[in-house]
């Protein structure tokens, strides 16, 4: 049985375990129909032209983990941003781990989707927001159909959340191959500010496929900063869908740091539903081996006087493949839009490839939109300059690549994240950082 | 310290240096002058080890060792320094971090550990004062958005930090106003000792009023056609290069 059939037929078993007499389940039932009809995307679809899922779909994934698994904090501590105080929502093989988590209901809700789906006090928020930002594409629909667990974060108005929130997914390898479908809902009300860090980490070499959906609602004047650390091991693949709806004067940023994983696809969609909205999308990708990373972004400018800033940098070695597809839509009403997009890439091997494609659809006439993409090698004159100062070729190259990717980090607001990412970049490039960051 | 014998070099099959002989002893300042296209900058690049140039004949002996086959960083470790005519911008690498990396890599090549942070800070402070460099400047990305004068001052600051045996200053005076020129020359003079040497490459005599050479060589068409004392520079300033060209052709 192929994975699609397996998923569709297991939907009935899934229904035995959840409350079917709810709004949420109506949405799920709709979604499974969409998935059944569309199936997994293939390279024939424009959006998937350069990314084939075939090799990762052939594994015999367990779609519901059989056991409750645990892991000790000391074994996974290094995957946490642990040098600062944070809220933690931790899942092990898709199941909530209370002993690794630190949630709260003190003036806000930092807890679980399973709770939000089942308890009456969350019903209004769920009915107002659940699946209201996600698109009806097949993979998001697949996630919606099986949505049962993930992070639920609701920050009421005028609240500055002092501690960042970490959402961590660990897979233990107890299943020979595992498919995970976390579903997160994040609602940030007027004037509130929250910072979120997300990470998926497999603890063994067993294949893992994660099909994740996160919906984020940034209401009036809210500030949401989201950091994705993607440094998973070589048999883990991630298809991430993040949908962000912004209301007037809100600020939302998503930083995506991709270093690991077998295949990583990031679908990142911003919808600006108000005036004076600011959206930031930044990414650093450094991969090698046979890794494949595909960033697919959309910024939808719907109303006037808004801005978007997109800056993705990639370094591709060995047989790695990179894809960047950045779509910016500026509606007719969205006058005075300021949309900026850049995608700069360095290929450090003859066999590495990058396909980069900006797509601008502009229907307004009084806008500033710029885009640029570059694909290049390292600057020879800079290398010579560094060598004359006694820096050997290997270190000089590493330092140049480090500098190239590092400037995306200037907008990271949490110093510990900046430091962590800097260290990962340095490790990845084999640069000895003999200086302060 | 440096002995160049019958050096020929070419780039992409085009011959640029056609038999250079030059000897520089410790404590000396040499100047190489010549019109555009005479091969001045090529000579500087070839001594520093730029790979694009092919040395077709002759050798470069530094401190008794043939360095012709060494990579630029290995030459730097032995004490060769090149101040660039056009210093390269490196976005994302601060002046301080660049220097820390350069010094520690040089120490590593000599089998030493990293310089202690305290010593590094003191060195940076002392040398930036010498070149009248504002501390804020040191945290900026190297050469990015620097004015012409700032770039050249920064080159000499790097020279001061690395303390080379032989410093080659390639057109260090270009792009400098008179104040910056004075600061740069002053820095070079203070760094000068009986154990090191300087090779000044320049188009104009102006810099040589501040960095006074012991020897002046004129490079024409890839060869040194005349050598003399500092008075030769004045002669060139007055008469230009044409009389020399005629002399060579005759």
Q: Please, which residues have CB within 8 angstroms of residue A214's CB and are 6 or more apart in sequence?
A: A150, A183, A184, A185, A186, A198, A240, A241, A242, A243
Q: Which 8-state DSSP code applies to residue B139?
A: G
Percent of chain A with pLDDT over 70: 98
Flag whether pLDDT at A437 surpasses 50: no
Chain A partners within 8 Å of B114 (Cβ): 434
Cα–Cα distances in angstroms (integers) from residue A388 to residues A216, B27, B114, B143, B158, in the given order: 50, 22, 19, 15, 11
Subunit contact A391:B101, Cβ cutoff 8 A: yes
User: B77 and A406 in contact by Cβ < 8 A?
Assistant: no
Quick: pLDDT tens for B14-67.
999 999 999 999 999 999 999 888 999 999 999 999 999 999 999 999 999 999
What distances in angstroms separate CA B66 from CA A128, A282, B46, B196, B222, one per listed residue? 78, 49, 13, 18, 21
- Determine contact, residues B132/B183, Cβ cutoff 8 Å: yes
Hey, what are A269's tokens? Answer: 């969609």
SS3 (DSSP) at A245: strand
pLDDT at residue A432 is higher than 70: no
How many distinct helices (H) and strands (E) make up chain A? Answer: 10, 20
Say if residue A323 is exposed, middle or buried (CB neighbours under 10 Å; 0-12, 13-18, 19+): buried
Chain B nearest-CA distance from A257, in A, is 18
Residues in chain B: 250
- Is A243 in contact with A215 (CB distance < 8 Å)? yes
| Residue B236 β-bridge partners | none
Contacts of A385 in chain B (CB under 8 A): 84, 87-88, 90
Residue A192 phi, psi dihedral angles, 5° rounding? -95, 160
Q: Do A435 and B97 touch (CB under 8 A)?
A: yes
Per the structure block, which two tokens stand in for A205?
């070499």
| CA–CA distance, A37 with B60 (Å, rounded to integer) | 74
Mean pLDDT calculated for residue range A252-256: 97
The CA distance from B188 to B210, in Å, is 9
3-class SS shares of chain A: helix, strand, coil, % to 5: 25, 40, 35
DSSP output for A327-365: EEEE-TT-TT-EEEEEEEEEE-STT-EEEEEEEEEE--S
Does the beta-carbon distance from B49 to A388 stay under 8 Å?
yes
Both tokens assigned to B22? 């030059």
Q: What is the mean pLDDT of chain B?
A: 93
Cβ-Cβ contacts under 8 Å, A384 against chain B: 50-51, 72, 88
Give the model confidence (pLDDT) of A142-153 as tens digits: 999 999 999 999
Confidence class of residue A433 from pLDDT cuts 50, 70 and 90? low
Check whether A436 has a pLDDT greater than 60: no
Is residue B138 over pLDDT 80?
Answer: yes
Q: Pick from A413, A323, A388, A327: which is nearest to A362 by CA? A: A327
A34-50 per-position pLDDT tens digit: 999 999 999 999 999 99
Interface contact flag, B88 A407, Cβ < 8 Å: no
Q: Which long-range contacts (CB under 8 A, 24 or more apart) does B174-180 make?
A: B174/B85, B174/B148, B174/B203, B175/B148, B175/B149, B175/B151, B176/B148, B176/B149, B176/B152, B177/B149, B180/B149, B180/B152, B180/B153
Tell me: pLDDT of A173 over 60.
yes
The alpha-carbon gap from B71 to the nearest alpha carbon of chain A, in Å, equals 8
B71-122 tens-digit pLDDT: 999 999 999 999 999 999 998 888 998 999 999 999 999 999 999 999 999 9
- pLDDT for residue B176: 85
Rounded-to-integer distance, Cα A297 and Cα A302, Å:
16
What is the mean pLDDT of the segment spanning A264-286?
97
Contact A274, A249 (CB under 8 A): yes
Nearest to A390 among B76, B88, B89 (CB): B76
The Cα of A313 is separated from the nearest Cα of chain B by a number of Å equal to: 13
Determine whether the interchain pair A384/B101 forms a contact, defined as Cβ–Cβ distance below 8 Å: no
The CB density around residue A294, as the number of other CB atoms within 10 Å, is 23
Give counts: helices (H), strands (E), chain B: 8, 12
| CATH code of the domain made up of B2-249 | 3.40.50.300
**What residues does B168 pair with on adjacent strands?**
B82, B199
Average pLDDT rounded to a whole number, residues A362-385: 92
Would you state the pLDDT for residue A69?
78
Domain residue extents for chain B: 2-249
Contact A288, A316 (CB under 8 A): yes
Residue contact A393–B71, C-beta within 8 A: yes
Helix (H, G, I), strand (E, B) or coil at A386: helix
CA distance A293 to A238: 10
β-partners of residue B79 are none
> Considering only CB atoms, which chain B residues are within 8 Å of A395?
101, 105
Distance from CA of A370 to the nearest CA of B (A): 21
Residue B212 has pLDDT above 80, yes or no: yes
Mean pLDDT of chain A: 93
What pTM, to 2 d.p., does this model score? 0.84
Residue A188: which residues within 8 A CB-CB, separation 6 or more? A153, A155, A194, A216, A217, A218, A219, A222, A223, A224
Residue A62 DSSP label: B
| Confidence category of residue B125, pLDDT binned at 50, 70, 90 | very high
Say if residue B163's pLDDT is above 90: yes
Average pLDDT over residues A175-204: 95
Backbone angles phi, psi at A128, to 5 degrees: -80, -30
Cα–Cα distance between A31 and B228 in angstroms, integer?
A: 89
Query: What integer pLDDT is reported at residue A1 of this predicted model?
Result: 75
Q: Which pair of tokens denotes residue A276?
A: 């004076």
All residues of chain B having their beta carbon less than 8 Å from the beta carbon of residue A387 are 49, 71-73, 76
CA distance A387 to chain B (A): 5
What phi and psi, each to the nearest 5 degrees, are found at residue A316? -125, 125
- With a cut of 90, say whether residue B174 has pLDDT above it: no
Among candidates A388, A400, A435 on the partner chain, residue whose Cβ is nearest the Cβ of B48 = A388
- Among residues B156, B180, B176, which one has the least CA distance to residue B168? B156
Instruction: Report residue A103 as tokens.
Output: 């949630």
Mutate to test the interface with A, among B45, B53, B73 (most CBs of A within 10 A): B73
Q: What is the pLDDT of residues A120-140, one digit of tens each?
A: 999 999 999 999 999 999 999
**What tens digit of pLDDT does each residue of A402-423 get?**
888 877 888 999 989 988 888 8
Q: How far is B245 from chain A (nearest CA, A)?
A: 33
pLDDT recorded at residue A299: 98
Find the angle CA(A319)-CA(A323)-CA(A327) to the nearest 5 degrees. 175
Q: Among all residues of chain B, which has the CA nearest to that of A403?
A: B92
H-type helices in chain B, by residue range?
Answer: 40-48, 72-78, 95-109, 117-130, 148-162, 178-191, 231-239, 242-249
Which of B72, B89, B93 lies at the smallest CB-CB distance from A388?
Answer: B72
- Cα angle, residue A36 at apex, residues A32 and A41 outer, rounded to 5°: 110
Please state, in angstroms and rounded to a whole number, the distance separating the CA atoms of residues B178 and B188: 15
- Joined together, the tokens standing for residue B31 give 């100047």
B250 has pLDDT over 80: no
Q: Which residues of B touch A393 (CB under 8 A)?
A: 71, 73
When scoring A378, A379, A390 by the number of chain B Cβ atoms within 10 A, the one with the most, hence best to mutate, is A390
Residue-wise pLDDT for A280-335, tens only, equals 999 999 999 999 999 999 999 999 999 999 999 999 999 999 999 999 999 999 99
- Confidence label for B205 from pLDDT (cuts 50, 70 and 90): confident
């Amino acid at each position: 049985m192929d994975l699609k059939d397996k998923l569709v037929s297991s939907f009935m078993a899934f229904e035995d375990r959840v409350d079917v007499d709810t709004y949420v389940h109506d949405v799920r039932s709709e979604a499974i129909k969409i998935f059944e009809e569309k199936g997994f995307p293939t390279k024939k679809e424009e959006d998937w032209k350069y990314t084939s899922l075939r090799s990762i779909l052939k594994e015999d994934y367990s779609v519901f983990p059989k056991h409750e698994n645990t892991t000790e904090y000391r074994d996974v501590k290094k995957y946490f941003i642990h040098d600062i105080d944070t809220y933690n929502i931790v899942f092990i093989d898709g199941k909530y781990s209370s002993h690794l988590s630190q949630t709260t209901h003190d003036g806000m809700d930092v807890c679980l989707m399973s709770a939000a789906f089942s308890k009456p006090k969350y019903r209004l928020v769920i009915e107002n927001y659940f699946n209201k930002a996600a698109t009806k594409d097949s993979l998001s629909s697949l996630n919606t159909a099986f949505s049962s667990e993930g992070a639920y974060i609701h920050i009421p108005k005028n609240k500055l959340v002092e501690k960042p929130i970490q959402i961590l997914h660990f897979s233990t390898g107890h299943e020979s191959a595992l498919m995970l479908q976390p579903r997160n809902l994040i609602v940030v009300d007027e004037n509130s500010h929250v910072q979120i860090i997300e990470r998926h980490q497999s603890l063994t070499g067993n294949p893992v496929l994660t099909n994740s959906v996160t919906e984020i609602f940034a209401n009036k004047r809210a500030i949401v900063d989201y950091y994705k650390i993607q440094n998973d091991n070589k048999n883990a693949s991630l298809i991430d869908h993040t949908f962000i709806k912004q209301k007037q004067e809100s600020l939302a940023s998503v930083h995506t740091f991709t270093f690991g994983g077998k295949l990583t696809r990031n679908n990142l969609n911003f919808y600006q539903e108000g005036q004076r909205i600011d959206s930031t999308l930044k990414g650093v990708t450094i991969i090698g081996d046979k890794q494949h990373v595909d960033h697919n972004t959309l910024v939808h400018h719907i109303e006037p006087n808004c801005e978007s800033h997109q800056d993705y940098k990639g370094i591709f070695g060995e047989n790695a493949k990179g894809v960047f597809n950045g779509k910016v839509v500026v509606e007719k009403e969205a006058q005075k839009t300021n949309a900026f997009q850049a995608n700069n890439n360095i290929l450090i091997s003859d066999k590495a490839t990058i396909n980069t494609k900006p797509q601008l659809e502009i229907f307004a006439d009084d806008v500033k939109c710029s885009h640029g993409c570059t694909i290049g090698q390292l600057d020879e004159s800079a290398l010579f300059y560094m060598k004359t100062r006694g820096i050997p070729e290997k270190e000089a190259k590493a330092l140049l690549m480090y500098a190239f990717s590092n400037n995306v980090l200037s907008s990271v607001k949490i110093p510990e994240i900046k430091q962590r990412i800097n260290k990962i970049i340095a490790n990845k490039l084999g640069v000895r950082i003999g200086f302060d960051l | 310290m440096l002995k160049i014998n019958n050096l020929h070099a070419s780039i992409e099959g085009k011959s640029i240096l056609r038999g250079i002989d030059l000897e520089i002893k410790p404590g000396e300042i040499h100047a190489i002058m010549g019109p555009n296209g005479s091969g001045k900058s090529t000579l500087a690049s070839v001594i520093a080890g730029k790979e694009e140039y092919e040395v077709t004949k002759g050798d470069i002996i530094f401190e008794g060792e043939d360095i012709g086959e060494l990579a630029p960083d290995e030459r730097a470790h032995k004490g060769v320094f090149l101040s660039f005519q056009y210093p390269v911008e490196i976005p994302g690498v601060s002046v301080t971090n660049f220097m820390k990396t350069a010094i520690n890599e040089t120490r590593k090549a000599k089998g030493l550990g990293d310089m202690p942070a305290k010593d590094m800070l003191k060195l940076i402070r002392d040398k930036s004062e010498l070149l009248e460099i504002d501390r804020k400047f040191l945290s900026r990305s190297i050469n990015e958005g620097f004015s012409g004068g700032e770039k050249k001052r920064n080159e000499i600051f790097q020279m001061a930090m690395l303390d080379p045996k032989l410093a080659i200053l390639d057109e260090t005076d270009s792009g400098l106003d008179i104040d910056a020129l004075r600061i740069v020359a002053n820095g070079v003079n203070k760094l000068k000792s009986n154990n090191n040497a300087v090779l000044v490459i320049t188009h104009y005599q102006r810099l040589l009023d501040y960095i006074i050479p012991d020897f002046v060589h004129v490079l024409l068409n890839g060869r040194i056609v005349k050598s003399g004392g500092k008075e030769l520079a004045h002669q060139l300033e007055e008469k230009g290069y044409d009389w020399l060209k005629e002399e060579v052709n005759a």
